[in-house]
Structure 1
Amino acid sequence: MLRCLVQEHPKLWDELLSQAEFAYNSMPNRSTGTSPFHIVYTKVPNHTVDVAVLPKCNSRSAGQLVEQFTTMLQEVRLKLIESNEAYKAAADSHRRQRIFKPGELVMVRLRRERLPPGTYSKLGRRKVGLFPILQKINDNAYIIDLPANFGTPSTFNVTDLSPYYPTDDAATTLSAETADPSMVGES
């Protein structure tokens, strides 16, 4: 928004920041259906700021204003809850639950940000392993028995783990000491 406002004068951004903030807070939000300004100040913003000291008084109109404000806040909360549920449903439609047990063998996806600088290769393997699961932290995180020379923490999100399916019925066991660190894909 600031880029659009400053255009050819990027050094004037600090002078236009308040205008950008006012414009942003005046626009209706997709989740709440109303503007942040309306939620906080209970009315649509004026184009010129009026600052006035209100006297202490007990009036029926003030009570009605409080009731309207309370009702509006409840409606906003309900809209936010509905919106969050819709976002969650959309995100959950792409998820699949995977539960691993300690001792189970998995393949690990090592992302670039997890590896020490200079060890990531675009052409290297994306999944390495077989590594046994040492401990389940929760349904979303596991501690893997990685060799110390991998240089990455051993806690992984479930999205970075793939179950290992052996090609035959023979039992497969593997420990961290026998793992080959060259499988990371050094350049």
Structure 2
Amino acid sequence: MLSDVRQQIITSNAKYKEDVDKHRRQCRFSVGDLVWVRLRRERFAPSTYSNLARRKIGPVPIIAKINDNAYTVTLPPDCMTSPTFNVSDIWPYSPPDDGVITIISSESSSSDPGGD
């Protein structure tokens, strides 16, 4: 009976893992990659976190890989928190496009001096 229960638990846990892995975001970084880092309220000492503070810092380089789940990054000197982050708080940095951005505004077209 105990072996049947143990087998049922193993089967159930395998199904739970399969369901959770469908929604898991796999990110693997290497040393030198540029990333965005999310700063959570829990990382700061009480009364030092501001709701108006930046939520993400970046791009910052990864300087060390602890394991597949934790990385150490280079933070700005004014950031008084640990430089080691979980992979759930790190996003890959992608540079902006080199394309031309044009802003079309109705105000600029109506204020043309020759547009009578």
Could you say whether these structures have the same fold, taking a TM-score greater than 0.5 normalized by the shorter chain as the test? yes
**Offset of residue 161 of structure 1:** 0.2
AA matched with 2:69: N
Q: String of CA shifts for 1:112-144, please: whole Å, max 9, x gaps.
A: 110122222334332122211001112111111
**Offset of residue 149 of structure 1:** 4.0
User: Which consecutive residues of structure 2, in runs of 5 or more, have no partner in the other structure?
Assistant: 99-116
Distance in 1 between the 2:58 and 2:47 partners? 20
2:57 pairs with one of 116, 125, 128: 128
Distance in 2 between the 1:149 and 1:83 partners? 48
Pairing 1:155–2:76 present: no
Distance in 1 between the 2:46 and 2:35 partners? 25
* Bigger-Rg structure (1/2): 1
SS at structure 1 position matched to 2:51: coil
SS at structure 2 position matched to 1:150: coil
Q: Is the 8 A contact 1:109 1:160 kept in 2?
A: yes
Distance in 1 between the 2:96 and 2:78 partners? 28
**Offset of residue 151 of structure 1:** 2.2
2:43 pairs with one of 87, 102, 114: 114
Q: String of CA shifts for 1:137-178, please: whole Å, max 9, x gaps.
A: 121111111245422211111110011111146xxxxxxxxx
Pairing 1:143–2:72 present: yes
Moved over 6 A (4+): none
Aligned positions, number: 98
Q: Larger % of helix: which?
A: 1
User: Which consecutive residues of structure 1, in runs of 5 or more, have no partner in the other structure?
Assistant: 1-71, 170-187
Higher RCO structure, 1 or 2 (CA under 8 Å, sep 6+): 2
SS at structure 2 position matched to 1:134: strand
Report the equivalent of 1:165.
94
Q: Over aligned residue pairs, what C-alpha RMSD do you find? A: 1.6
1:103 pairs with one of 27, 32, 42: 32
Distance in 2 between the 1:85 and 1:129 partners? 37
Q: Larger % of strand: which?
A: 2
Q: Is the 8 A contact 1:116 1:151 kept in 2?
A: no
